[in-house]
């Protein structure tokens, strides 16, 4: 049991034996109009606080500061899984009830939170089957159907306003049986950043390597390893986020050859609005200095055999709509290509996801559908996407790598999951034991515009996946 609950039981025992009630002023009732009630309700909706034993936060009576401290302690222990908005709520609540948290002996007191180093991570193991229909494509076979990923995350605070995060991760292609080669052991830093709050008049600035989590719900995104600068600010009820950085590696960087020095720069600017309690809207613009290329067998940056462009820019709108226990996510992107050859210069892309997940408003599988601490809970999602060639910049595809295939396959769905495709994606997750999630996934990916390829059919690949993840 958590330390705070242990202290609570001891306190109740003392009360029973002595027949006295606590008369400590800090445990007095909190007025029913206090802002903390609304903040805790929001944390409950986000799955960061369970509330009472029946997993509810009733809010139909005045609560003591003691009860608030218990709930805030729970939220503080899940601080790293919260989004920026909920982190601000937790920070405000922990400051308001700091005395109670310290008296209760919370293991994450305000002082500890500012000085400690937190270590966590996750382990993933997968079994995959793919059925490519493209002529010349190979099915996954043998040990190539089994892979793993290991990640270890470190985070801490330098002071009240500056924090840091780093994460070590195995690279893609870590196959069981490859212990004597780099695909079985390559490890790199996929996250490494510093975040400063309340600087230069902004809410926060994050500098370094992070996930590409800055545009819409994730149609244009990446769950790890992009280098750049993110700024967040609030103007009344409007939230702004802007980002600029590198989204693709430069194979010639450092040797002065070929495209050495090409920044492959992406810049985004986006504002978010809350139109209703159950509806959030975002709209933004992007500029990408990332060219589009093609080859005869569809192995260029685009999933085509013809065409090219120099750079791209475009606007997007995204929505997050809550319908009871269900969530509908939707993204739309309209792009303009510079120096487009053979392909349309104004590609479009859109995606939707319908789910009963109560997690963050991000497309699966960037985040889990379930809370790994809630044993027996489960969730599902159904998503569909449709993207023209060049609709999103190469290296910023939110659905790239979600379907697995040999990278050398023509019109490969592993690296072209976001270009000239239309695809159905089904997923189901269940927490089979505390901090252990089992998942089933299915994808059916087809070509969006077959006329820009040499293929006689629009069918590309169907993939099936069984996955187990362990969190700690």
pLDDT for 29-41, tens place per residue? 677 778 888 888 8
368 vs 430: CA distance, rounded Å: 10
Give pLDDT, residue 328. 97
Give the Cβ contact number of residue 300 at 10 Å.
20
Please give the share of the chain, as a percent, with pLDDT higher than 70: 85
Say yes or no to pLDDT of 13 above 80: no
Please give the share of the chain, as a percent, with pLDDT higher than 90: 52
- Kindly give the interhelix angle for 65-77 and 84-96, rounded to the nearest 10 degrees: 140
Give pLDDT, residue 181. 67
What is the average per-residue pLDDT within 154-168?
89
Give pLDDT, residue 417. 93
Give pLDDT, residue 18. 40
Domains in the chain, CATH or no CATH each: 3-114 (no CATH), 116-471 (2.40.160.10)
402 vs 167: CA distance, rounded Å: 21
pLDDT grade for 60, boundaries at 50, 70 and 90: low
Q: SS3 for 142?
A: helix
pLDDT grade for 186, boundaries at 50, 70 and 90: confident
Rounded to 5 degrees, φ, ψ at 429 are -130, 145
Say yes or no to pLDDT of 232 above 60: yes
Percent composition of the chain: helix, strand, coil (DSSP 3-state, to 5) = 15, 40, 40
49 vs 44: CA distance, rounded Å: 5
pLDDT grade for 377, boundaries at 50, 70 and 90: very high
Give pLDDT, residue 107. 45
Where do we find the tokens 């392909």? 343
pLDDT digits (tens, 9 = 90+) for 285-340: 999 999 999 999 999 999 999 999 999 999 999 999 999 999 999 999 999 999 99
463 vs 29: CA distance, rounded Å: 56
- Compute the chain's Rg from CA coordinates: 24
Which pTM does this prediction carry? 0.76
Give the CA count within 13 Å in the CB-facing half-sphere of 158.
10
Give pLDDT, residue 175. 82
299 vs 394: CA distance, rounded Å: 12
pLDDT digits (tens, 9 = 90+) for 39-51: 888 888 888 876 5
Give pLDDT, residue 80. 74
Say yes or no to pLDDT of 22 above 60: no
pLDDT grade for 225, boundaries at 50, 70 and 90: confident
Give pLDDT, residue 45. 81
Give pLDDT, residue 38. 85
pLDDT digits (tens, 9 = 90+) for 68-114: 888 888 788 788 778 888 888 888 888 788 777 776 664 444 444 44
Terminal-to-terminal C-alpha distance of the chain: 16
pLDDT grade for 184, boundaries at 50, 70 and 90: low
Give the Cβ contact number of residue 382 at 10 Å.
13
Omega into 365 within 30° of 0, i.e. cis? yes
pLDDT digits (tens, 9 = 90+) for 349-372: 999 999 999 888 899 988 899 999
Mean pLDDT (the chain) is 85
Q: SS3 for 68?
A: helix
pLDDT grade for 390, boundaries at 50, 70 and 90: very high
**Distances in Å between the alpha carbon of 396 and those of 67, 221, 246, 286, 294?**
44, 5, 10, 12, 17
**Distances in Å between the alpha carbon of 169 and those of 119, 240, 249?**
14, 30, 17
Q: Kindly report which listed range (14-18, 80-84, 229-233, 305-309) carries the lowest average pLDDT score.
A: 14-18
Minimal CA–CA distance to 398: which of 472, 316, 309? 316
What is the average per-residue pLDDT within 133-138?
88
Give the Cβ contact number of residue 450 at 10 Å.
15
**200: Cβ–Cβ under 8 A, 6 or more apart, which residues?**
none
Q: How would you classify the pairing of strands 187-199 and 222-235? A: unpaired
What is the average per-residue pLDDT within 215-233?
90
pLDDT grade for 61, boundaries at 50, 70 and 90: low
Give the Cβ contact number of residue 33 at 10 Å.
7
423 vs 405: CA distance, rounded Å: 15
């Amino acid at each position: 049991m958590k330390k705070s609950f242990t202290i609570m039981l001891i306190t109740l025992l003392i009360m029973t034996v002595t027949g006295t009630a606590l008369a400590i002023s800090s445990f007095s009732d909190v007025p029913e109009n206090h802002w903390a009630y609304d903040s805790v309700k929001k944390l409950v909706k986000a799955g960061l606080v369970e509330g009472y034993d029946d997993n509810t936060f009733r809010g139909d009576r005045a609560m003591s500061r003691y009860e608030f401290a218990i709930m805030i302690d729970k939220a503080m222990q899940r601080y790293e899984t919260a989004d920026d908005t909920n982190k601000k709520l937790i920070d405000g609540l922990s400051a308001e009830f700091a005395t109670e948290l310290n008296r209760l002996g919370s293991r994450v007191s305000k002082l500890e939170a500012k000085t400690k180093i937190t270590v966590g991570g996750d382990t993933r193991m997968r079994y995959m089957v793919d059925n490519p229909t493209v002529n010349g494509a190979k099915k996954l076979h043998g040990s190539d159907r089994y892979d793993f990923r290991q990640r270890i995350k470190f985070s801490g605070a330098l002071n009240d306003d500056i924090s840091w995060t780093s994460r070590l991760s195995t690279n893609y292609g870590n196959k069981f049986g490859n212990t004597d080669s780099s695909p079985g052991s390559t490890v790199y830093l996929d996250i490494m950043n510093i975040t400063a709050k309340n600087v230069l008049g902004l809410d926060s600035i994050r500098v370094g390597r992070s996930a590409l989590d800055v545009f819409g719900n994730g149609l244009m995104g990446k769950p790890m390893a992009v280098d750049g600068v993110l700024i967040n600010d609030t103007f009344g009820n409007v939230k702004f986020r802007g980002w600029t950085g590198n989204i693709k590696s430069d194979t010639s960087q450092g040797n002065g050859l070929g495209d050495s020095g090409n920044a492959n720069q992406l810049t985004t600017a986006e504002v978010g609005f809350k139109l209703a309690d159950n509806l959030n809207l975002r709209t933004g613009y992007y500029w990408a200095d990332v060219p589009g290329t093609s080859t005869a067998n569809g192995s260029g940056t685009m999933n085509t055999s013809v065409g090219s462009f120099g750079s791209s820019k475009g606007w997007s709108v995204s929505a997050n709509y809550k319908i009871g226990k269900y969530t509908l996510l939707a993204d739309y992107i309209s792009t303009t290509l510079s120096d487009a050859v053979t392909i349309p210069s104004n590609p479009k892309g859109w995606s939707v996801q319908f789910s009963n997940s109560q997690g963050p408003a991000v497309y699966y599988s960037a985040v889990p559908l379930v809370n790994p601490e809630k044993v027996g809970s489960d969730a599902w999602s159904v998503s569909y996407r449709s993207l023209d060639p060049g609709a999103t910049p190469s290296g910023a595809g939110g659905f790239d790598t979600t379907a697995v295939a040999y990278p050398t396959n023509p019109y490969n769905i592993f690296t072209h999951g976001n270009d000239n495709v239309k695809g159905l994606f089904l997923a189901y997750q269940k927490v089979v034991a505390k901090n252990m999630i089992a998942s089933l996934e299915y994808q059916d990916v087809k070509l969006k515009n077959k006329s820009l390829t040499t293929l006689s059919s629009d069918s590309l690949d169907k993939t099936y996946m069984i996955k187990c993840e362990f969190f700690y």
